[in-house]
Chain A
Amino acid sequence: MLDLLKAPVFAVQEFFLLTSAAFRNIFRSPHYGDDVALQMDAIGVGSLPITAMIGFFSGAVMALQMSRALASYGQVNQTGTIVSITLVRELGPVLTAVMVAGRNASGIASELGSMKVTEQIDAMRALGTDPVQKLVTPRLIATSFMLPLLTIIADFVGMVGGWLIAVVYLNLSSRQFWSTAWRALEWNDVTQGLTKPLVFAVVIALIGCFYGLRASGGTQGVGRATTQAMVAATVLIFVLDLMITKVFVWGAS
């Protein structure tokens, strides 16, 4: 029984060791600025089209779904409120993070995993570089910087999607939609909407790196690491989402 528990406990310990090393390295030289910029491009700019698209359609569909519920109270004119609150607090951060997890947690895991199984990680250590400093920390910085920005963009594009539905199908005026959407937001919503992507970014980058650096057993191992990274990151995003929401709801009341 104890032996069964040993492996997962060691894995969690290893994950936290990697996490602390990655954070410590942010303040230590050498700094690999080029790698950070490269990762920002891959993670941020690369994910832009897909997150914008997801944001647009989820905003539009929220407007459509909610209009039915609001109609029964005669409150269709409040569509903007519902769309902006759900997007900023919940859908924007979570959907963007899930998309980026699918794209980048798996991408990071497969890249680092391939490097691991072809001994490139060992070569890096042999040739004078700390792989955590060179590979993990730049990905952590880049994701933590880009995911909140992507979320803001997804939130905005989502509102545009909701606005389009409100104007075309629900016969609301643009002014009505945008003023209700704007007034609905409080500081609590915005902080929550930006705290979430920051936490999710840390999870995505570190889970991707962790599974990648643990890969073993050739190409099959890389495939396994990729899938595990994506699944673990996605599940953790939802678990942490609930926890952060609880903290904010509790804090507000």
Chain B
Amino acid sequence: MPNPSGVPVLRFEDVTVSFDGVPALSNVSFQAFQGESRAILGAAGSGKTVLLKAALGLVKPDSGKIYAFGQELTAMREKDLFDIRARIGMLFQESALFDSLTIEENVAYPLLNQKAMKCPKPEVHRRVAEALEFVELGGTLEKFPSELSGGMRRRAAIARAVVTAPPLILYDSPTAGLDPITAHTIMALLVKERDTAKTTTLMVTYRYQDGNIMANFRYNSEQGRLEFSRHGGQDLSTTFMVLQEGRLIFEGGQDLLEASKDPYISRFVKQRG
């Protein structure tokens, strides 16, 4: 359950980001608390990716403030941001695995390069193997990203995002470009990570089904699979947000979202499979 009394894990305060004078995010404000899940819906070009990159300090806002773990990212220099970034996992849209490194080296990358990690070398191999086991890619350590399928690359990228056990994970369109079965597998992994490690999760997507799985399914660790758990109402810890052309036009629970009369919002809800 979210804990609104504590310090928010992530907080946006009236954030505006623009590229060459064209706004990508306009006056976005929200806050996410420990243990909360957020599904951020939006069409292509609505500012979803920019929002996640701003949360990591990869993109600097023109105005407004961003806080992660109570620290203001917008006031920090690039080299000071590395310590904050070590506590945030990120899955990039096209996986963004390093082509020149093997899967093992890719997953080990944050452990070896993040100063805040201080992971002893013998420990690295064990944690990498564990993370790859988590995404069911145990036998691919020596392979290069180009040798894997799209879905496998996405899983390897998830392993890289979770290997440091960050308290906050950002997923950029985790199911984009995947077939429905693979997409479901990826969503199952997201829920599994959230429920086993109790991470705060921000997921941007253009597929309503992804948000639906996030809100209504739980990972059952005994049976090793997802199970439906909508206890007579929507799960309070999952909040939906909708972005339209850089503006945050909706924030609330699933029922409220489904009841919305806004044509842009109902377009997302209708595509539900």
Chain A residues with a Cβ under 8 A of chain B: 114-115, 118-120, 122-130
Contacts and interface: CB of A to CB of B under 8 A. Distances in A.
A128 B93 contact: no
A129 B96 CA distance: 14
B79 A130 contact: yes
A127 B53 contact: no
Q: Which of A114, A118, A128 has the most CB of B within 10 A?
A: A128
B134 to A, nearest CB: 18
A128 B93 CA distance: 19
Interface stretch (B33-41, B82-90, B223-231): B82-90
B123 to A, nearest CB: 17
Q: Is the interface of B mostly helix, strand, loop or mixed?
A: loop
Contacts of B90: 123, 126
Contacts of B53: 122
A127 B114 contact: yes
B94 A128 contact: no
A126 B98 contact: no
Q: State which size class the interface on B falls in.
A: 20 to 34
Nearest to B57: A125
Interface string B54-66: 0010100000000
Contact of B96 (A119, A128, A130): A119
A126 B160 CA distance: 11
A119 B56 CA distance: 14
13 contacts: A120-B97, A122-B53, A122-B92, A123-B96, A125-B58, A126-B88, A126-B90, A127-B114, A128-B85, A128-B86, A128-B114, A128-B115, A128-B117
Which 7 A-B pairs rank lowest in CB-CB distance, beginning with the nearest?
A128-B114, A123-B96, A119-B96, A128-B113, A127-B110, A119-B92, A126-B90
Contacts of B93: 119
A126 B85 CA distance: 6
A125 B96 CA distance: 12
Contacts of A130: 78-79
B56 A129 contact: no
Given A118-B96, A119-B96, A122-B96, A127 B56 contact: no
B99 interface: yes
B85 A125 contact: yes
B109 interface: yes
Nearest to B115: A128
Contacts of A128: 82, 85-86, 110, 113-117
A130 B85 CA distance: 12
Contacts of A120: 96-99
Contacts of A122: 53, 58, 92, 96
A236 to B, nearest CB: 26
B171 to A, nearest CB: 13
